Amino acid sequence: MDYINNLPDEVLNKVFQLVCPKICWEVGFQPQSHREGKARRPMFIGHLSRVCRPWRSIVLTYPCLWSNVDLHIHTIPFNILAGTSRYRPELMEHVLQRSKTHPLTIKLTATDHENNNKFEKAFETLYSVSERWSDVHLDGHLLLLMVKRNPSRWTYRKRPMPRLKRLTLSRSRHCDSLLGILMDLTSNTLPSLTHLTLDRYESLSSIACQVTSRGFPWSQITHLCLKDGLGKAWMELGSIDDFFRQLPELEDLAIEPLLNSRRRAKPPAELYCLKSFAFVMEYGIGTSDQKELANALSFIKAPNLETLKVTIHSSMDAKVAHACLPPFLEQSGGSLKRISLIGFGEGLTTSTLRLTPTVECLSLSMIGCLVPLECLTWKPDKPNILPSLTTLIIDGMAVGDRASLTHLLDSRVRLPRHSDSSTRSDSPVTLKTLHITLDHSMRTFFEGAIEFFHGIWETYPLKGDLWPMDIGIYPDHIMETAIFRKPTHE
C-alpha cells in the first residue's frame, strides 16, 4: 500500500471517481440474486473509506465522491420481503451532508407505481437540497401521482433551483403537467436549464402552450431529446412547427423514433443555432403515402447543421429515409461536416452521401447490412462522393472486406505528391484518420486477418485505431475524440 499512498490525494480522488462514479442504492433489492451471480452491485464509495486512514481522509475530504446519487425503488413481492433493503432517509441525509455544497447529480426512478410512498419520502429528502441540483432524472409517472395525491403539500412548497442544468423525465406521458409541476416547485424560472429529455411524451402542442404560460424557459433550451413519443404527439395539425419555433437557441436535437407529422401548409421552423441532429426510425412512420414520407423532416430547417446521425431498422425505414432525406439535405446540408449512417444499405448510402459533398467525417455501421466500401473508393474521371473526407469510422467491419479497404486507402491516402499549383482538380482531400471496430464473430478468420489490420497504420500515414466489437466503443464516442488522437506517423 505504500507506493499507492505516495500518490497525491488529487490523483487518488480521480481514481476513486472512476471506481465509484456514483452511489447506487436499490430499495427493495434482492441480495440473493447477486449471490447467485445474476447481477453485481457497483462498489459503494463508503467501502473505500474502510481500507486505511489515508483513504478514509480522501473519501471524506472530496465532496464530489458523494454528489452522484442513483436511487431505484423495486417492487417487492410479499413472499420475499425478508432480507430486502429498505429506504432509510437518515442514510440519504448522511450522503447529502458529505457532498457539502457540491452540485448534485440525481437519478430517482422506480419499477412500478406501487412504490409511490417510498418515492415521495426519497423525493422529499432530495428536494430539501434542490438549490444544489445540477443533473436530475426523475420518474415522471410517480412525480405526477405524488403531487395529485397530496396537492396542498406540494403546490406551495417553492424552493430555488439555480444550478439545474439537465432535466430528464422518464415515463412522462403527461409531460405538460409534469413540467408545470416543476415550475410550481421552483421559486424562479430555472435560469441554468439548457438540457431537457422527455421520455414517453404524448402531446407536443400541449407542452408548448400550457407550460409556456407558466414560465418554462423554452427559449434557453440548447439540447433536447424526445424519446418514445406516442403516435398522436405528432399528428396534431401545426403542433410540430409551433413547438420548435419556441426553441431559437436549440443546438442539439435527438428524436427516437421519428413519427408521422400532419402539418399545416406553412414554412418549417428555422433553427439557425442547430448544429447536431440525430433521429431514429423504427419500422416506418405509420403511413405509406409518398407525399407524407417526403415531408417527414419538413417541420424544421437547419441551415447551419454540422452533424447528422440517422438510424434505421427495416426496409420500410429505408423507403422513408430515401424520400425525406433529399429535401431535408437540400435545405440543411450545405454546412454538414459529420454524418453517421446506421442500418443503411449500399444504394441508400451512396444516394445520401452524394447529397453531402462537404462532409469531412463519415461513420458507417456495417452491422446487419451490406455497405461495400467500393462506393467510397475514389476513381479518377468518374463520379465520386465525399471529396473532402478526412476521417472514416467503420463499425462492425467484416474481415472479408480487406481487399475493398485496401483499394479505398490506395485511392484516398496514397496520392501523388504534387505542389498545390499542380494538384489535379478532381483529386480528393487526403484521408487522415481511420477507426475500425472489427466484427470477429468468425474467430478463425479474425486470427488470420488481425496482422493485416494492424499493418494498416504501419503502411499508411494515418491516425486511428482498431477495436473488437465487444469492447463497447461505438462511433459516437470515437467521433468526439478522433481529431485529438496522437498520430501514428509524424
Specify whether the CB–CB gap between 362 and 331 falls below 8 A.
no
Of the candidate ranges 46-55, 355-364, 424-433, the one whose mean pLDDT is the lowest: 424-433
Instruction: Indicate whether 405 belongs to any domain.
Output: yes
Q: In this structure, what C-alpha cell is assigned to residue 379?
A: 476513381
Last residue of a domain, one of 102, 129, 150: 102
Indicate whether 385 pLDDT > 80: yes
386: region left, alpha or beta (phi > 0 left; psi from -120 to 50 alpha): left
Q: How far apart are CA 196 and CA 163, in angstroms?
A: 14
Q: Would residue 65 count as lying in a domain?
A: yes
What torsion do the CA atoms of 29, 33, 35, 39 make, to the nearest 10 degrees?
A: -90
Confidence tier at 262 by pLDDT (50, 70, 90): low
Give the domain range for residue 80.
1-102
Residue 133 grid cell: 441540483
Average pLDDT for 257-280? 83
**Band (254; pLDDT cuts 50, 70, 90):** very high
Residue 109 lies in a domain: no
Question: Both ends of the chain: CA-CA distance in Å?
Answer: 40
DSSP string, 198-223: EES---HHHHHHHHHTTT--GGG--E
Of 79-88, 261-270, 381-390, 481-490, which one has max mean pLDDT? 381-390
Contact 367, 341 (CB under 8 A): no
Q: What are phi and psi of 202, to 5 degrees?
A: -120, -45
Burial label for 290, CB within 10 Å (0-12, 13-18, 19+), is exposed
pLDDT at residue number 150: 82
Report the pLDDT value the prediction gives residue 242, as an integer from 0 to 100. 77
> Average pLDDT, stretch 271-276?
94
**How many independent structural domains does the chain possess?**
2
Residue 158 scores a pLDDT above 90: no
Q: Does residue 49 form part of some domain?
A: yes
Nearest to 487 by CA among 432, 406, 428, 405: 432
Tens digits of residue pLDDT in 206-249: 665 555 556 788 889 999 999 887 766 666 545 677 788 889 99
How confident is the model over 323-376, as pLDDT tens digits?
Answer: 999 999 988 867 899 999 998 887 888 899 999 999 999 999 887 666 778 888
Q: What is the rounded distance in angstroms from the CA atom of residue 324 to the CA atom of residue 296?
A: 6
Q: How confident is the model at residue 195 (pLDDT cuts 50, 70, 90)?
A: very high
Q: What is the pLDDT of residue 484?
A: 30
pLDDT surpassing 80 at residue 198: yes
Strands (E), 111-203: 133-139, 166-170, 195-199
pLDDT at 477: 40
Q: Confirm whether pTM is higher than 0.75.
A: yes
When the pLDDT of each residue in the chain is averaged and rounded to a whole number, the result is 78
Domain assignment present for residue 113? The answer is no
Residue 471 has pLDDT above 70, yes or no: no
Mean pLDDT within 452-476 = 71
Domain termination residue (choose one: 102, 121, 151): 102
State the Cα–Cα distance between residues 435 and 297, nearest whole angstrom: 30
- Residue 20 domain flag: yes
Whether 10 is in a domain gets the answer: yes
Examine the fold and report which residue of 102, 124, 159 is the final residue of a domain before the chain moves on.
102
322 within a domain of the structure (yes/no): no
